[in-house]
Amino acid sequence: MVQTQVPTAASPAATAVAAPPDRRVGARDRRRASVLPYALLAPATIVVLAIIGWPLLQLVILSFQEFGRAQVFGRPAEWVGLDNYARVLADPVFWEVLGRTAGFAAVCVAITMVVGTLVALLLQRLPAPFRILLSVGLLLAWSMPALTTTIVWGWMFDTEYGVVNQVLRDGLGLAQFDRHSWLIDPMSFLGVAVVIIVWGAIPFVAFTVFAGLTQVPGEQLEAAALDGAGPVQRFLAIVLPQVAPILVIATILQIIWDLRVFTQIFALQDIGGIRAETSTLGVYIYQTAIAGGEFGEGGALAIITMLVISVASIALVRRMLRSDA
Amino acid sequence: MIGSRSYRGMTVLWCAVAVVIFVCSVFPVYWMVKTSLQPNSEVRTPELQLWPETLTLRNYETVLLDPGRTPFLPALGTSLVVTLSTVLIAAVLAFLAAVAISRFRFRSRTGFIVAILVIQMLPLEAMMVSLYRVLDGWQLLNTILALVLVYAATVLPFTIWTLRGFVDGVPIELEEAAMIDGCSRLGAFFRVTFPLLAPGLIATGVFAFIQAWNEFLVALVVNTRPDLMTLPVWLRTFLALNGTTNWAAIMAGSTLMAVPVVVFFLLVQGRMASGLVSGAVKG
């Protein structure tokens, strides 16, 4: 009999839910399947709804309300319709921040993707010991927390004792970098931030693209080489089409991450630099709502930011669903 | 012949480029550790000094033992409690949800998958505005529970998505075979499929660990009480108090915060990568 082999070690809960032994084995049981998956999903769903869903709803509500310091201390919030949005959109500072964020993200994404892809191609061409060496280096950079990374780079770019100034001055003989302040000029500040973010993001792109490159069939490349195709032609005609989906997904992810950037800019502002002239959207929302107490306006800002990011997100979700189907 | 020589020449060139990129990748980490091991007086010299002249552990002593205004050890304790609770909750909840999505076909299944992906895209930086208000309303500001809940909720979509790939990777036929041999459905699952999911659980656990350990914004906003700081917030306060005059101590603090993540990351990376690859390929 089949039952005799039923493991006796099964927990009470297991025996309670387990099917009676004479049931048809293997078929997905309809009746139980109608309840069980929902029961399994319930805990995660409840947590996510409470911590993300509910605040999201509150965010929408907040963005239509007058909600400043007075309301924090108990004054009822008034409905003001689209006032918050109108105020945000009429504020030149917002457009400045939006433009800065978009430009900053574009530069970060472009450099990260190009250099990351080149590093992936390099990894493919290296003999094993060098490939391992480079991989370890990239892993080390990848694993560093964003906050410590920012602080370390902030120290390296220090005006007085920073190693960057020392190398430029003593190593390359560029006297103008003696006590050069990297963070005081907004463009220079953002340049340092680009370095920090790109340094941390290249390993992800390099490894992801490298994994994609290993899937490209070698026979096709050899055949193309025999037919007289040069390395550039082979890359464009065979390799690129195969890794294109990976490149697209990685690019969209980078766009989303770089538009959301908070920690690196915020921490670098702690070290030096002028907040008002270097803030990106994430930091600007924090300054308006959390530090400034203007929750209504911050809510409108947050919704607008989400809409901006959702353009990239929707493209990504559609791709992931397509590859999932 | 010429072809093979130029091929070898190219390889040498590539290796040289690889070494340059390796140095660029490693240098900031090296510089952090190097500065942390030098006396601050030596750090504050204008000359370029690529190797430390004197090695000392005094900076670590300052960070670890000096109670001062920003004690390190309580922050470490808070970080450990928050991180480990997050990993545990996220692993259990994500596991249950992943099994549901992978092993069952039910109405609104596609809806769940879309929801998972969409929620993953929501910028927490924007959500903070109302999350702060909501947590305040629930009397959860300045509690460890708030951080655990927020971190668990934010890593869940990714962990469910990843684990689902791993569950998909275990063929249902294996379970069915065990059931023919007399296992109950649950028994088959826990005896056959569950052990095969270990790499997936490790990968998602490490992901949750790193996220919770590194998270800065929520910790900054939700916990304003000094005794409830997590390590990132502690590091920021430490940076502010030392006014960038004691870079040696700041680097020691940075190293202490980074080491667990880096070690964890490097140790599991190989398994994680192979796990992710095998998990992503459907059986």
What phi-psi label fits residue B281: left (phi over 0), alpha (psi between -120 and 50 degrees) or beta?
beta
Q: Calculate how close chain A gets to B146, using CA atoms only, in Å.
A: 9
Q: Is the pLDDT of residue B30 over 80?
A: yes
Percent of chain A with pLDDT over 90: 56
Q: Per-residue pLDDT tens for A228-240?
A: 888 888 888 888 8
From A228, A245, A244, A247, select the one nearest A236 (Cα to Cα): A244
From A159, A154, A150, A190, select the one nearest A275 (Cα to Cα): A190
Q: What is the ipTM for the molecules in this complex?
A: 0.87
Are the C-beta atoms of residues A62 and A299 closer than 8 Å to each other?
yes
Q: Calculate how close chain A gets to B253, using CA atoms only, in Å.
A: 9
* Amino acid B69: pLDDT: 73
Confirm or reject contact between A159 and chain B (CB < 8 A): no
Sort out which chain B residues have CB atoms less than 8 A from A54's CB and list them. 134
Q: Is the pLDDT of residue A67 over 80?
A: yes
Query: Locate tokens 């000029």: which residue?
Result: A185
Report how far residue A88's alpha carbon sits from residue A300's, in angstroms, rounded to the nearest whole number. Answer: 7
CB contact under 8 Å between A3 and B99, yes or no, is no
Q: Per-residue pLDDT tens for B115-159?
A: 888 888 888 888 999 999 899 999 999 999 999 999 999 999 989
Sort out which chain A residues have CB atoms less than 8 A from B22's CB and list them. 133-134, 136-137
CATH architecture entry for B69-237: Orthogonal Bundle (1.10)
Q: Is the pLDDT of residue B278 over 80?
A: no
DSSP state of A79: E
CB contact under 8 Å between A126 and B257, yes or no, is no
Q: Which of B25, B114, B240 sits opposite A140 (nearest CB)?
A: B25
Q: How many CB atoms lie within 10 A of CB B122?
A: 21
CB pairs under 8 A between A and B: 322
Q: Calculate how close chain A gets to B211, using CA atoms only, in Å.
A: 9
Report how far residue B184's alpha carbon sits from residue B25's, in angstroms, rounded to the nearest whole number. Answer: 52
CB contact under 8 Å between A146 and B214, yes or no, is yes
- Return mean pLDDT, chain A: 86
Confirm or reject contact between B43 and chain A (CB < 8 A): yes
Q: Calculate how close chain B gets to A237, using CA atoms only, in Å.
A: 22
Confirm or reject contact between B30 and chain A (CB < 8 A): no
Please report which residue ranges of chain B form alpha helices under DSSP H.
2-36, 40-43, 58-65, 72-103, 109-121, 124-137, 144-169, 172-180, 185-188, 194-196, 198-214, 217-222, 231-241, 247-280
Across residues A88-94, what is the average pLDDT? 95
Report how far residue A224's alpha carbon sits from residue A234's, in angstroms, rounded to the nearest whole number. Answer: 7
Percent of chain A with pLDDT over 70: 89
Of the residues B42, B130, B143, B186, the best mutation for testing chain A's interface (the one with the most A CB atoms within 10 Å of its CB) is: B130
Across residues A211-230, what is the average pLDDT? 87
**What CATH code is assigned to A69-324?**
1.10.3720.10
Report how far residue A63's alpha carbon sits from residue A296's, in angstroms, rounded to the nearest whole number. Answer: 5
Q: So where are chain B's domains?
A: 69-237
